[in-house]
Amino acid sequence: MNQGKWRHLDNRWRDLATAVLIAVSLACLVLGISAHASPAYRFFNVERNTHFYTTSEGERDFLLKSGPPFQYEGAAFSSPAGDEAGATAVYRFWRAASGSHFYTASTEERDTVRTIPGYAYEGVAFAAFSGGGTGRIPVYRMFNRATGAHFYSASAPERDWVARSFASYADEGIAFYAYPATGVPALAPSSFDAHRLLAQASFGATPTEVTRVRELGSTRWVEEQFAQPISAYPDSRYDHLSLDDSPTCTYNSDHTSAEYRCALKQLSLLQVQADFFTNALYAPDQLRQRVAWALSQLLVVSGMKDPDMETAHVMARYHNILFEEAFGDFGRLLHRVAISAQMGHYLDAVNNDRPDAAASRSANENFAREIMQLFTLGTVELKVDGSPILDAAGQPVPTYTQADIKALARVFTGWTYPPGGKLGGKADKPGNHHSPFEHNPRHYVGEMVTYPNGHDADAKLLFSSVTFAAGQSAQADFAQAIQTLFMHPNVGPYLALHLIRQLVTSNPSPAYVARVASAFKDNGRGQRGDMKAVLRALLLDPEARSDPRFDTQAGMLKEPVLLVTNLLRALEAKSDGIYVAKWPRRIGQHVYYSPSVFNYYPADFALPGTSLKAPQFGIHNANTVLAREGFIYDLIYNGGLSPYSKFPEAIGTKWDIEPWKVLAATPEQLVTRIDELLFGGVMEPAMRAILLEAIIAVPANKPDKRVKIALYLAANSYLYQTSR
Can you give the pLDDT at residue 579? 97
Q: Convert the pLDDT of each residue in 671-719 to its tens digit.
A: 999 999 999 999 989 999 999 999 999 999 999 999 999 999 999 999 9
Residue 416 has pLDDT above 50, yes or no: yes
Instruction: Enter the DSSP assignment of 312.
Output: H
Single pTM value for the model: 0.78
For residues 601 and 300, the answer to whether their CB atoms sit within 8 Å is no
Asked if 103 and 92 touch (Cβ cutoff 8 Å), the reply is: yes
Query: How far is Cα 47 from Cα 101, in angstroms, rounded to an integer?
Result: 15
What pLDDT was estimated at residue 549? 67
Q: What is the pLDDT of residues 300-342, one digit of tens each?
A: 999 999 999 999 999 999 999 999 999 999 999 999 999 999 9
- The greatest distance separating any two alpha carbons of the chain, rounded to the nearest whole angstrom, comes to 95
Most confident of 38-42, 187-191, 200-204, 538-542: 200-204
294 and 503 Cβ atoms separated by less than 8 Å: yes
Find out whether 275 and 591 touch, Cβ atoms under 8 Å.
Answer: no
How far apart CA 128 and CA 139 sit, in angstroms, is 10
What's residue 49's pLDDT?
Answer: 83
Residue 575: pLDDT over 50: yes
Q: Look at residue 424 in the predicted model and tell me its pLDDT.
A: 52
Amino acid at 702: K
**pLDDT value of residue 550:** 61
Residue 469's pLDDT is 98
SS3 content of the chain, % helix, strand, coil (to 5): 45, 15, 40
SS3 380: strand
